[in-house]
Chains A and B, each alone.
Chain A
């Protein structure tokens, strides 16, 4: 069953940045894009499991802190070696000051 979970406050993420969100034994990365939209993906890079919240957000790209692997965080698409497997993404909406992520629980 899908459920909207509060991931963080709107002001917890700077524009063009990422924060970590842990829930139910899983970990996620929540992004705020340069045009002020919010996105969510799995927290770990699909290559070697580094946490993307330690990475670098540039435009619509999240760069993994370990090997500079890149994903489009809006779609989860892997953008070339050394990442070859796409990231899972999750629906996100803003409710007042809160960023909510839709998870199957």
Chain B
């Protein structure tokens, strides 16, 4: 029977990490599998992996400097309509840009100096309402088992798509309450079954401490807002995850949405998208997402060069964010009725293959 015929009859799947799909992934050899990597001479790869503090110090100084400038301006202009565009920029810098800082510093590749990675990682985690420890382990699993159903806790595009939730999250209306509830749970020392699956026992106490600190600061901002009868404290702290997250939603959802599940080849389950320099600054080059997954040791400032090395072995990059959405949107709409449907990226002629490639039985 042809694969396409099989796909037509696939049913909805269980995305939890403790359900039958988890056992299935292990049984099929998809868990902790051997991923395809486009070949690069070791000497060149070493050049690309080289670390330095310079680019990230510059970019972080600009990022934090802009946050302080726009935050200060916003406080100064509070009560006037001029505060609106100022906080619109502040919010994007605070929330949308924090995600990529969280990500790169979580890999400890942005800076050569480890402690600077860790400080920026902690700051960015706070801005994003994330426990640094819980999310470090979640993201570790995401790299081990990228878009493997039953294994990856960071699958954003489940099938069928939860379209209403997706739309509400353009302004964080599901993510923010969920994140606060999760932090509250952490502060009580409670981890759910999935978190217990990927956070080692020796690290769990940290999650509780982080929950108390991060939630505490946000609750304090809310208390001050009520006490002063002003929205300003929550516009400055936490609020950007509502009004400033839209840009991350727009560019970040291009990473994997609509692509294959259960393949050991990042060329098929991740998407590289060309973006303008402003977006690339906000996103710290995570638009080169296939490359990042193939070689997570390469720092963000070398991803463009890495892309040049491997692009002949990869599906063509999406020429723009808009182009990426032009293939994503019809796909997720179709998945509402046919959850087995997905975009099957075509590898260029002569591209390398996994020795025994795992086919996308569920796409």
Interface residues of A (CB under 8 A from B): 14, 17, 48-49, 55-56, 58, 63, 65-68, 70, 79, 81-82, 84
Contact residues in B for A55 (Cβ distance below 8 Å): 297
Let me know if B8 is at the binding interface, CB within 8 A. no
Let me know if B159 is at the binding interface, CB within 8 A. no
Contact of A81 among B49, B112, B137, B144 (CB under 8 A): B137
A66–B297 CA distance with the chains assembled, in angstroms: 8
Whether B46 lies near A17 (C-beta < 8 A) is yes
Looking at the assembled complex, report how far the CB atom of B301 sits from the nearest CB atom of chain A, in whole angstroms.
Answer: 15
Contact residues in A for B49 (Cβ distance below 8 Å): 56
Contact residues in A for B203 (Cβ distance below 8 Å): 81, 84
- 8 residue pairs, one from A and one from B, having the closest CB atoms: A56-B49, A82-B140, A56-B297, A68-B107, A67-B140, A68-B108, A48-B32, A81-B136
Looking at the assembled complex, report how far the CB atom of B38 sits from the nearest CB atom of chain A, in whole angstroms.
Answer: 13
Let me know if B133 is at the binding interface, CB within 8 A. yes
Looking at the assembled complex, report how far the CB atom of A67 sits from the nearest CB atom of chain B, in whole angstroms.
Answer: 5
Whether A68 lies near B296 (C-beta < 8 A) is yes
Contact of A49 among B32, B51, B140 (CB under 8 A): B32
- Given the known interface contacts A63-B297, A81-B136, A81-B137, the answer about A68 and B144 at a Cβ–Cβ threshold of 8 Å is no
Whether B144 lies near A48 (C-beta < 8 A) is yes
Looking at the assembled complex, report how far the CB atom of B51 sits from the nearest CB atom of chain A, in whole angstroms.
Answer: 6
A5–B310 CA distance with the chains assembled, in angstroms: 37
Let me know if B193 is at the binding interface, CB within 8 A. no
Looking at the assembled complex, report how far the CB atom of A36 sits from the nearest CB atom of chain B, in whole angstroms.
Answer: 17
Contact residues in A for B42 (Cβ distance below 8 Å): 17
Looking at the assembled complex, report how far the CB atom of A57 sits from the nearest CB atom of chain B, in whole angstroms.
Answer: 8
20 A-B residue contacts at CB 8 Å?
A: A14-B46, A17-B46, A48-B32, A48-B144, A49-B32, A56-B46, A56-B49, A63-B297, A65-B296, A66-B296, A67-B296, A68-B109, A68-B296, A70-B114, A79-B114, A81-B133, A81-B137, A81-B140, A82-B137, A82-B140
Let me know if B278 is at the binding interface, CB within 8 A. no
Residue of A nearest to B202 (CB): A84
Contact residues in A for B140 (Cβ distance below 8 Å): 67, 81-82
Contact of A67 among B112, B144, B202 (CB under 8 A): B144
Let me know if B200 is at the binding interface, CB within 8 A. yes
Contact residues in A for B311 (Cβ distance below 8 Å): none
Contact residues in A for B295 (Cβ distance below 8 Å): 65
Let me know if B143 is at the binding interface, CB within 8 A. yes
Residue of A nearest to B298 (CB): A56
Residue of A nearest to B117 (CB): A68
User: Which residues of B in the span 45-99 have a Cβ within 8 Å of any Cβ on A?
Assistant: 46, 49, 51
Contact residues in A for B51 (Cβ distance below 8 Å): 58
Please give 13 more A-B residue pairs, beta carbons under 8 A apart, in addition to A14-B43, A56-B46, A66-B143: A17-B42, A48-B144, A55-B297, A56-B297, A65-B297, A66-B144, A67-B140, A67-B144, A68-B107, A68-B296, A68-B297, A70-B108, A81-B137
Contact mask B109-123 → A, CB, 8 Å, 1/0? 100101000000000
Residue of B nearest to A67 (CB): B140
A31–B46 CA distance with the chains assembled, in angstroms: 14
A76–B273 CA distance with the chains assembled, in angstroms: 39
A17–B43 CA distance with the chains assembled, in angstroms: 10
Residue of B nearest to A79 (CB): B114
A29–B108 CA distance with the chains assembled, in angstroms: 22
Residue of A nearest to B108 (CB): A68
A82–B140 CA distance with the chains assembled, in angstroms: 7
Looking at the assembled complex, report how far the CB atom of B269 sits from the nearest CB atom of chain A, in whole angstroms.
Answer: 16
Residue of A nearest to B137 (CB): A82
Contact mask B324-353 → A, CB, 8 Å, 1/0? 000000000000000000000000000000
Whether A82 lies near B136 (C-beta < 8 A) is yes
Contact residues in B for A82 (Cβ distance below 8 Å): 136-137, 140
Contact residues in B for A56 (Cβ distance below 8 Å): 46, 49, 297
The residue in B49, B133, B202 that gathers the most chain A C-beta atoms within 10 A of its C-beta is B49
Contact mask B294-312 → A, CB, 8 Å, 1/0? 0111000000000000000
Residue of A nearest to B35 (CB): A66
The residue in B32, B107, B108, B109 that gathers the most chain A C-beta atoms within 10 A of its C-beta is B108
A65–B108 CA distance with the chains assembled, in angstroms: 12
